[in-house]
A = this chain, B = another copy of it.
């Protein structure tokens, strides 16, 4: 009988999470019922949204239950199938969680989707051609909706979402400016991903310095901002937004661990006639096909660049996740499970 290593949520963090909030368990892989599929995971995706799920209380999603396998996106291979929809050997993407195997009901409402790895690497379906890429696409094209010639800024620009935002903005004729932490990430954002500029928030580390750096990097002001972090950077951005600017709220990683971080000057929403809108990509399923088509084509043709940080083995997932929250990853954070 095959053993399945899993990571469960052992306790909820009080403030900053630690490895003690997680626990490794081993369970036997159960026999399949009719209509079920056994997937062996090749890669697990680690994403900032998981931090929110670790907390109790009202959010847009149910909290991650204690002692249950941590939620997470996975890609892998069907190793056994009792469903006519899947065959052993099929490459699939799904929400398999922090574990080596998952048993999935392959019904029409199932979360499992076959993918083609001829031109797109399997792992990319967790990044540029997966949830992070679609998140970038939806926020950019449906909330920011930039016109050619406008300036779009994105924070966490070297991350899986941020990197795609800037590259998609470039294809639409925009000036793309990133914000990232450290000279290596900033260099990659400009040199590899093709952004026009990137600001190091570790150097420009207060509102005044960031605002000044934004003025230099965005000589025509800011028309669209893709928000991944919150806090000081948002305050600095708002000071530089042009009239009728749009801000897509995708993540606010700086507020995950405790007290909410206030917005310094909300009256700028009125003064600059801004639109601020929060969104969650899973609530826009109708947009996924168009997004995946553009993103898949761009990756297959080498026009959408991305990096991956890969941790090895399910045991490494908690440490890699904590590193992601501290910005230690470089590009999409994955855990390789085979």
Contacts and interface: CB of A to CB of B under 8 A. Distances in A.
Interface of A: 58-60, 230, 234, 243, 249-252, 255, 260-280, 283
Contact of A277 (B234, B255, B269): B269
Contacts of A230: 266-267
Given A260-B266, A262-B262, A271 B234 contact: no
Given A60-B272, A249-B270, 8 more contacts: A60-B243, A260-B265, A262-B263, A269-B277, A273-B283, A274-B277, A274-B278, A275-B276
**Copies of this chain per assembly:** 2
**Majority DSSP secondary structure for residues of A touching B:** loop
A267 to B, nearest CB: 4
Nearest to A265: B260
Contacts of A250: 270
Nearest to A280: B273
Contacts of A263: 262-263, 266
A269 B265 contact: no
A9 to B, nearest CB: 20
Contacts of A251: 270
A250 B262 CA distance: 21
The 9 closest A-B pairs by CB, nearest first: A260-B265, A262-B262, A270-B278, A263-B266, A263-B263, A249-B270, A269-B278, A276-B276, A252-B267
